[in-house]
Amino acid sequence: MIEVEKLSKEQAAAELKRIAEEMAKSDIAYYQNDAPYLSDAEYDALKRLNAEIEKRFPELIRDDSPSKRIGAPLQSAFGKVAHRFPMLSLADVFSIEEVEDFIAGVKRFLNTEADIAFMCEPKIDGLSFTARYENGLFVQGATRGDGREGEDITANLKTISQLPQRLENAPEVLEVRGEVYMSKADFFALNAKYESEGKKTFANPRNAAAGSLRQLDPEITRERNLSLFAYTWGEVSERVWQSQEDFFRCLKKWGFPTNPNNRLCQNVAEIEKFFANLMEIRSSLTYDIDGVVYKVNDIALQERLGFLTRTPRWAVAHKFPAEQALTKVSNIRIQVGRTGALTPVADLEPVNVGGVIVSHATLHNEDEIRRKDIRIGDTVVVQRAGDVIPQVVAVLPDKRPANSVPFEFPHFCPECGAHAIREEDEAVRRCTGGLTCPAQAIERLKHFVSRDAFDIEGLGGKIIETFYKEKIIVNPVDIFTLENRNAARGDDLFAQEPGLRLEARDGWGKKSVENLFAAINKRRHISLARFIYALGIRQVGTATSRLIAQNFENWRHFEEEMTAGETEKLMSVDGIGESMAHDIVEFFREEHNISTVHKLLQEVTVEDFAEQISTGSPLSGKTVVFTGTLEHLTRSEAKAKAQAAGAKVAGSVSKNTDFVVLGTAAGSKAKTALELGIRTISEEEFLALING
Ligand code: IVH
């Protein structure tokens, strides 16, 4: 028995190394279906020992520590896999002008006029995957899921013969990412077979690939003949490539299929040519693509550019023009959103638009309907592009029925009957029903539990609607009191059948109820940023919520200033303007909002804002203001760097400012800093602070 308390630092380090190696061997043995290398008990004992040593010597935690690895294989075929490097998505652009804007933005950020080389890759319309290799052996595969956590599809990926199971001369830890797809030929063959068997067919190759990959029985996956292309990486112990081009060379060497059409382009003209050419050969390709991905080739530049919340700044997806089709508008109805906005939606006679059946389209707002004069009964051109909601592009007046009348936009909320009014400078008409409007209440609840807010799994849209209608959950607090109310017998929680418990509902069993409560209880601790976002304050999205959290640090502080109507600090935050500040203060003016928040705070703990990024940095928690022209960095780059080092960036100097970074020709802000006795530093000093 090893006594952790008695280990010297050297001994502990050696022990951690031994454990990591033993457990890695065991994992590999398991995944290869060899005889197990360790028994389950031995495996667990090592894991515990590892955790104990790491607790005592946190500074010794290894990059390849089993505590960081997805430990023992998951039980069910689709266990969850947390992505240690999130699987990001890309921003979409639809025209060459937008591509030019994107490139100009990259250059501005990097403060260069020189051409930047981009790797141009066909955007494969499939399903992204990540494949993890340890010591050259394929150990785990996962889907993208929500980007942070995916499904474990190790067994299924193993059946795809194009995926190498073993790599020569690869980094110790390497995650290769790419796209699994089904060729058009395989898709048609599969559908023909299904049709002859009277089975439901797949709408397009993408759906067929997804349905085939996410099979509990990997043998079915094998039969489906899936293919793949590799194009990026996740975690890697040692990055031995310097550019995307270089990475493709490595991938080929290791035996991964890479797309033969990938090309390095040196300037916009070449990019344009690449795009046009790809559009032309698109239909002759054996697989579906839906656009082109452009990536800054040089990884050093990629690193300088960094990331926005969910997408990299160094890449973009240029989507092919939307696909269109003709159909008839069977009805126009009005949806009421979380903030009361009335959105018109066209119900359409179902039509196949580029492989997807479309039966609704958004009509945006009343001006849009009037401008296009869209009427019930009209024949219209609909288009869809990627994941966006289908739109009505135009009406065919020749096909309009003789008795047709223009659509009249309602001035009352169709859900609650309250007046719907339109402010002078607004495009949308809003229901004034506020809290009494059920549609708004339901949408607010959906927002409250959504992914970037409380992220409560198991409370999907349908359930929220049902629970709201039956008065089981009418406001956010009810979510957290549900378990106790459900447990209290005789409670007339359920209006229709007093005394009925969730367990007894149709489609609910003991297990699913337990799961729901577990999912709710898991979220009784929440970060300040998520909490603020969950409140659904108008204009306050994830990025603003984070800014507020970073600047106010705890809920009490934020609430105090807002209820006092003090917006000075709020508005000094770079990124929060007057109109947003107005909406935030308005939220706090509503008695009801405050009382809901207070009741909520009895149920959940809102964590103070913690610097997740580089707490050790001298800028962490400090408020920085930039002024004048910087020489080495662009403004955005400087701002991003400061934020990455845990600093808050303000737009104006106040007594709360810690540093003012002076560029050349700094003006009044420098003067204010001097008057207030705030420390000023040069750009060089700022860089030195950032780089430690
Ligand atoms: S790179 C951070 N390259 O498109 C970079 N993605 O809209 C992440 N996709 O989730 C992705 N072909 O599923 C990349 N050559 C390619 C791609 C590609 C298809 C998909 C992928 C991604 C989505 C983003």
pTM over 0.85: no
How far is the centre of ligand 1, averaged over its atoms, from the C-alpha of 123 (Å)? 7
How far is the centre of ligand 1, averaged over its atoms, from the C-alpha of 184 (Å)? 19
Question: What's the pLDDT score for residue 498?
Answer: 47
Q: 170: closest CA among 234, 66, 251, 229?
A: 251
Q: Which residues does residue 138 pair with via DSSP β-bridges, in sequence order?
A: 133
How far is the centre of ligand 1, averaged over its atoms, from the C-alpha of 109 (Å)? 23
Looking at the CA of residue 92, tell me the nearest atom of ligand 1: 7
Question: What's the pLDDT score for residue 79?
Answer: 87
- pLDDT reading at 490 higher than 70: no
Least confident of 49-53, 254-258, 489-493: 489-493
Question: What's the pLDDT score for residue 71?
Answer: 36
Query: Is the beta carbon of 526 within 6 A of some atom in ligand 1?
Result: no
138-162 average pLDDT score:
93
How far is the centre of ligand 1, averaged over its atoms, from the C-alpha of 301 (Å)? 19
Looking at the chain, the whole-number percentage of residues with pLDDT higher than 70 is 93
Query: Is the beta carbon of 125 within 6 A of some atom in ligand 1?
Result: no
Query: Is the beta carbon of 232 within 6 A of some atom in ligand 1?
Result: yes
In 408-552, which residue ranges form alpha helices assigned H by DSSP? Answer: 438-448, 461-469, 476-487, 510-521, 528-534, 542-552
Q: What is the DSSP letter of 324?
A: E
How far is the centre of ligand 1, averaged over its atoms, from the C-alpha of 130 (Å)? 12
Q: Best of 83, 121, 128, 387 to mutate for ligand 1, by most ligand atoms within 8 A of CB?
A: 128
Kindly report, residue by residue over 187-212, the tens digit of the pLDDT: 989 988 887 887 777 777 888 898 89
Question: For the CA atoms of 557, 560, 564, 567, what is the dihedral angle to 10 degrees?
Answer: 20
- pLDDT reading at 615 higher than 80: no
CA distances from 22 to 66, 139, 636 (A): 10, 15, 46
Residue with the larger pLDDT of the pair 30 and 20: 20
Q: Best of 85, 92, 248, 293 to mutate for ligand 1, by most ligand atoms within 8 A of CB?
A: 293
Query: Is the beta carbon of 88 within 6 A of some atom in ligand 1?
Result: yes
How far is the centre of ligand 1, averaged over its atoms, from the C-alpha of 144 (Å)? 11
- pLDDT reading at 249 higher than 50: yes
> C-alpha 524: how far from its chain's center?
22
Q: Which residues does residue 360 pair with via DSSP β-bridges, in sequence order?
A: 347
- Given a contact cutoff of 8 angstroms between Cβ atoms, the answer to whether 655 and 676 are in contact is yes
Kindly report, residue by residue over 322-332, the tens digit of the pLDDT: 778 889 999 99
In 346-405, which residue ranges form alpha helices assigned H by DSSP? Answer: 366-372
**CA pair distance 623, 448, nearest whole angstrom:** 30
Looking at the CA of residue 122, tell me the nearest atom of ligand 1: 15
Q: Which residue has the tokens 């999205």?
A: 541
Query: Is the beta carbon of 292 within 6 A of some atom in ligand 1?
Result: no
Question: What's the pLDDT score for residue 215?
Answer: 84
Mean pLDDT computed over every residue of the chain: 88
Kindly report, residue by residue over 582-593, the tens digit of the pLDDT: 999 999 999 999
Query: Is the beta carbon of 120 within 6 A of some atom in ligand 1?
Result: no
**CA pair distance 351, 357, nearest whole angstrom:** 5
- Given a contact cutoff of 8 angstroms between Cβ atoms, the answer to whether 636 and 581 are in contact is no
Residue with the larger pLDDT of the pair 471 and 73: 471
**CA pair distance 191, 184, nearest whole angstrom:** 11
CA distances from 528 to 65, 459, 549, 562, 607 (A): 30, 21, 6, 15, 6
Question: What's the pLDDT score for residue 164?
Answer: 97
Dig out the tokens for 446 from the structure: 């959906």
Residue with the larger pLDDT of the pair 391 and 1: 391
Query: Is the beta carbon of 111 within 6 A of some atom in ligand 1?
Result: no
Pairing of strands 623-627, 659-662: parallel
Kindly report, residue by residue over 645-670, the tens digit of the pLDDT: 888 888 888 888 999 999 888 788 88
Question: What's the pLDDT score for residue 36?
Answer: 55
487 band by pLDDT with thresholds 50, 70 and 90: confident
**CA pair distance 162, 226, nearest whole angstrom:** 9
Question: What's the pLDDT score for residue 159?
Answer: 95
611 band by pLDDT with thresholds 50, 70 and 90: low
Kindly report, residue by residue over 33-91, the tens digit of the pLDDT: 344 566 666 777 788 888 889 989 988 988 888 776 543 333 345 789 999 999 988 99
Query: Is the beta carbon of 293 within 6 A of some atom in ligand 1?
Result: yes
Kindly report, residue by residue over 284-339, the tens digit of the pLDDT: 899 999 899 999 999 999 999 999 878 899 999 999 877 788 899 999 999 999 99
Residues catalogued as catalytic: 123
Question: What's the pLDDT score for residue 24?
Answer: 79
Looking at the chain, the whole-number percentage of residues with pLDDT higher than 90 is 57
**CA pair distance 579, 572, nearest whole angstrom:** 13
- pLDDT reading at 145 higher than 60: yes
How far is the centre of ligand 1, averaged over its atoms, from the C-alpha of 440 (Å)? 35
Kindly report, residue by residue over 214-229, the tens digit of the pLDDT: 888 888 899 999 999 9
* Residue partners of 186: CB distance under 8 A and separation at least 6: 205, 208, 224, 225
Protein residue with least CA distance to atom 9, ligand 1: 123
In 111-225, which residue ranges form alpha helices assigned H by DSSP? Answer: 154-158, 184-196, 205-213, 218-224
Question: What's the pLDDT score for residue 482?
Answer: 93
Query: Is the beta carbon of 178 within 6 A of some atom in ligand 1?
Result: no
CB count in 10 Å sphere of residue 206:
23
Question: What's the pLDDT score for residue 308?
Answer: 85
How far is the centre of ligand 1, averaged over its atoms, from the C-alpha of 127 (Å)? 9
**CA pair distance 138, 175, nearest whole angstrom:** 9
Query: Is the beta carbon of 182 within 6 A of some atom in ligand 1?
Result: no
Question: What's the pLDDT score for residue 473?
Answer: 93
82-101 average pLDDT score:
92
Question: What's the pLDDT score for residue 64?
Answer: 80
Question: What's the pLDDT score for residue 376?
Answer: 96
How far is the centre of ligand 1, averaged over its atoms, from the C-alpha of 606 (Å)? 35
- pLDDT reading at 609 higher than 50: yes
E strand residue ranges, 4-147: 80-82, 92-93, 118-124, 127-134, 137-143
466-472 average pLDDT score:
91
- pLDDT reading at 31 higher than 90: no
Dig out the tokens for 566 from the structure: 């003090």
Protein residue with least CA distance to atom 12, ligand 1: 123
Kindly report, residue by residue over 352-399, the tens digit of the pLDDT: 886 678 899 999 999 999 988 999 999 998 987 655 688 898 888 888
Query: Is the beta carbon of 123 within 6 A of some atom in ligand 1?
Result: yes
Q: Best of 179, 247, 287 to mutate for ligand 1, by most ligand atoms within 8 A of CB?
A: 179
**CA pair distance 233, 86, nearest whole angstrom:** 11
- SS3 (DSSP) at 298: strand
Q: Best of 124, 256, 299, 305 to mutate for ligand 1, by most ligand atoms within 8 A of CB?
A: 124
In 284-409, which residue ranges form alpha helices assigned H by DSSP? Answer: 299-305, 366-372
- pLDDT reading at 595 higher than 90: yes
